[in-house]
Amino acid sequence: MPDMLQNENLPSEIGEVIQIIFSKWSEEEKQVFSMIEMTELNSLKLTLGLDIRNIFQLWSGNQKLLLACKQEIEKRPELKEILWKIFYLSSWEEGLLDEEKQGERAKEEEKSAFAEVFSEMNAYLSSELIIYLTWNSLQKNQSNLVQLS
């Protein structure tokens, strides 16, 4: 991954971020990333996710990219369900007892937790979206493995 970018060079679009990520990865890194199961993407939020948050200044300074992430989720509401299942559901379920997981109360609490996660676009949620969309672009277009190296 590149070093932290200067403010004037910060990408403001998700596609730009994905292209930068691909341009910095070796062919082998792209291949390994493409073979990860969607459910395993959660394991990358403290490594790749941290790199994304730092390099693209999602913590501070890159409001345009945060806005682009918010707009992407608004434009494609199915992304909320996908991101919830990958990055949040298992953590939320860990806090429940087995008998609670099936109850109506748990369903209502999950709806509430879901709404809270997506109530505000922040650096974490943006980096998780970028991880997923980067992975998804490799799944849809295997030519990225060769084309972008």
| Domain ranges across the chain | 12-147
pLDDT of residue 98: 57
Helix (H) or strand (E) run with residue 51 in it: helix 48-55
Tally the C-alpha atoms within 13 A of residue 100's C-alpha that lie toward its C-beta.
11
pLDDT of residue 91: 79
pLDDT of residue 4: 60
pLDDT of residue 97: 55
pLDDT of residue 149: 38
- pLDDT tens for the chain, residues 1 to 149: 656 666 668 999 999 999 999 999 999 999 999 999 999 999 999 999 999 999 999 998 799 999 999 999 999 999 999 999 999 888 777 765 555 555 666 778 888 888 998 999 999 999 999 999 999 999 987 655 554 43
Question: Are 62 and 110 contacting, i.e. CB atoms less than 8 angstroms apart?
Answer: no
pLDDT of residue 103: 65
The model carries a pTM of 0.85
Neighbours of 36 (CB within 10 A): 15
pLDDT of residue 29: 94
pLDDT of residue 7: 66
Q: Give the integer Cα–Cα distance in Å for 42 and 52.
A: 14
pLDDT of residue 39: 92
